[in-house]
Structure 1
Amino acid sequence: MPLLQYEPEGIVRIGDDRFYVSAGEYTAPTTSYGNGTVINGTDRMPGAGFAHIIVFDGNGTRIADATLTQEGAIEYHNGGIDYDGKYIWATIAQYRPNSTATLVKIDPLTINVTTILHIADHQGGAIHDVDTGNVYMLNWGSRNVSSWNLNYVTAEYPAFTRPRSITRNPSYYTDYQDCKFLGHPAVYDYRGVGLCSGVTSIYGTQIGGIAIVDLKTMVPLAEVPITMVSDLGVLVTENPVDVAIVDGRLRVYFMPDQHNSTVYVYEPVAASPFEFGGGFE
């Protein structure tokens, strides 16, 4: 799936033959202020770019490419996305830590964007709990998860809406890139849980990982390391992930590469990778 100069950030599969990809087009890099300088909480200039939602069919043919932001917008980085059966939930943020972001919902039929609320921090992922109305978002490096509830009145944009809670991510194993809401399964005592994937760097080596997490606490309920790489040598968990049950089997979709991207589809061998250490094929 060619993405031109874009970087894929999130992916959802809707129906049998449509993939929606959030992607960033970067026209000017973010550069450090230098000498340890911090201005308004952040250490780098804003850079420039555009947020996109791109639609592909199952053969990789591009059906649509919608630009979600205007030229000169300081918030242009869209992160991981989630689909609740009606809307795609996404954040459009400044491409630097300790900055700002906007939560939006996107109609996949029209790509119409509705602004929900404004956030006084960078947010790189959005997870919508359809049962409670909670929306969870991950900040830079997924070090914190913040929650809002859609049943409460939000501040009028561009004023900021304070989160109902901010929870420190207790796991330093993986910086999550993209997450998906999994429901309130009985096996986890009906807690709201999500599947998250990402990468981490340790001792000069990058390792990928997938985790099922408790959305309120971010405690991993099950997690596995992932060492598989794309044909271009990128860890498959580096960017978007989606998950589905197809014909009774777990299926995971990855889209790791920038510029010229491929969707990698994996199913577990024999057992789920979250049970008995089973692997992927």
Structure 2
Amino acid sequence: MDSDLVRAFLAVDRSTAWTLVERVPLNFPTYHPQGFALVGELIFMSSVEVLEDTGIGHLFAMDRQGNLKEDIRLGEGTAYHPGGLDFDGKDLWVPVAEYRPDSRAIVYTVDPTSYDVTERFRVADHVGGVVRDRTTGHVHGISWGSRTLYSWTPTGEQLSKVPNESHFLDYQDCSYVAHGKQLCGGVTTLPGPNNTSYDLGGLALRDLHTNHILHEIPFPYFSPTTNHNATRNPVALELTPTTLRLHTAPDDGNPPTGTELQIYETPLK
């Protein structure tokens, strides 16, 4: 099925039309969402709650109707910023970092059934997202703005540290798909005319073994409530029998709109 997902993504391009087919209000405080992992009928979403002097890292388990099932707290001290997460078929892998570049992070696993949390290793940098390669068992991560690409053993031995060859997107959330590949979503904020700015969003398929980009597309769709680009924060792709489906949550939990799960689809080719 994951191989089918890769083939479906390789078939889309910048002219592909996507339709916003569903908007699901999330019925709980969501703060600043970061990453998604789809686990059966549950969606896990990481989020950072920023307080006056510190913050709280959250991993929310919710059903697909937007109802909260569990609020799992992650992090310690000044490390309270969860990033993009991944499900390896057994555990969720989640980094929690200090809310600044060139800082530090803790990588956790979370059991998606019991919600038990286990610290796996620590990194002397801000880690904004992790993915577990199911072909090697290695853990791959991205720094602040995804300018640096890392890989580690599951116990934290650093295997590689290389610059990101792409300057098109700052990845926000990545997920393992198949055969040593990951799918990432993100945005780049560009200057516009008359002191305006524009968030260019997109999706990229990357080879975890070579760090090369295999396919990437812009995603020129925006939240109907805030005009944030759809790939600004959490993203997760999956297949239906007839469509390629993209789950997004571009908006923070601020009133009056709050966060919606916004779902886009395009027909399979």
Contact 1:175/1:200, CA 8 A, preserved across alignment = yes
Cross-structure match for 2:38: 13
One-letter amino acid matched to 1:163: Q
Equivalences for residues 58-137 of structure 1 within 5 A? 58-70=64-76, 73-137=77-141
Choose between structure 1 and 2 for higher RCO, CA contacts under 8 A separated by at least 6 residues: 2
Equivalent residue for 1:177, pick from 172, 176, 187: 172
TM-score (norm 2): 0.83
Give the strand-richer structure, 1 or 2: 2
- 1:135-154 correspondence runs (5 A): 135-150=139-154, 154=155
Sequence identity (%): 35
Superposed displacement of residue 4, structure 1: 2.1
CA radius of gyration, larger in: 1
1:167·1:217 contact (CA, 8 Å) conserved in 2?
A: no
Whole-Å Cα distance in 1 between the matches of residues 103 and 36 of structure 2?
24
Aligned match of 1:158? none
**In structure 1, what is the equivalent of residue 8 of structure 2?**
none
Q: Which residue number corresponds to residue 184 of structure 2? A: 196
- Checking the alignment, whether the CA contact within 8 Å between 2:148 and 2:164 is kept in structure 1 is yes
- Structure 2 counterpart of 1:262: 260
Any residues of structure 2 matched to 1:150-169 within 5 Å, and which?
150=154, 154=155, 161-169=156-164
User: What amino acid sits opposite 1:182 in the alignment?
Assistant: V
Residue 250 of structure 1: how far off its partner (Å): 2.2
| Structure 1 unaligned residues grouped into runs of 5+ | 29-46, 155-160, 185-191, 272-281
- 1:248 CA drift (Å): 5.4
Unaligned runs of 5+ in 2: 1-25, 192-196
1:54 to 53, 57, 60: 60
* Alpha carbons 2:245, 2:265 under 8 Å: kept: yes
TM-score (norm: length of structure 1) = 0.79
Q: Confirm or deny: 8 A CA contact 1:134 1:149 kept in the other structure.
A: yes
Deviations along 1:227-263, whole A, 9 cap, x unmatched?
A: 1011221111000011222225322211111002111
CA distance in 1: counterparts of 2:30 and 2:88, whole angstroms: 29
Residue 246 (structure 2) aligned to one of 228, 247, 252: 252
Matched, 1:27 2:20: no
- How many correspondences in the alignment? 234
Shift of 1:135: 0.5
| CA shift for structure 1 position 67 | 1.7
1:185-224 correspondence to structure 2 within 5 Å: 192-203=180-191, 204-224=197-217
d(CA) in 1 for partners of 2:30, 2:247: 21
| 2:20 aligned residue | none
Using the TM superposition, give the Cα deviation of residue 69 of structure 1 relative to its aligned residue in structure 2, in angstroms.
3.5
